[in-house]
Amino acid sequence: MPKMKTNSSAKKRFRLTATGKVRMNVAFKRHNLRKRSQKMKRHARGTTIMAETDAKFVRKHFLPNG
């Protein structure tokens, strides 16, 4: 059986932490920021941990090699 390939777009968007959780960027930061509250923009800085239900799917289908 051939090796499983990692999805290239997922490689650029997600990283796995040492404990196996999926780290991702926060959404809704690209444009129309004048509408967003200052609190939302502040909380959306940096990265966040993906919800476990979504993370299971990403790990299984997109990042099989970790």
Q: Where are the beta strands (DSSP E) in the chain?
A: 14-16, 22-25, 47-49
| CATH code of the region 8-61 | 4.10.410.60
Mean pLDDT value across the chain: 95
Contact 10, 63 (CB under 8 A): yes
Return the domain boundaries, the chain: 8-61
Contact 48, 55 (CB under 8 A): no
**Tens digit of each residue's pLDDT (9 = 90 or more) over 36-63:** 999 999 999 999 999 999 999 999 999 9
Could you tell me the strand order of the sheet in which 47-49 lies?
14-16, 22-25, 47-49
Is this model's pTM higher than 0.75 or not?
A: yes
> pLDDT at position 22, please?
97
Per-residue CA distances from 14 to 2, 43, 63 (Å): 24, 19, 9
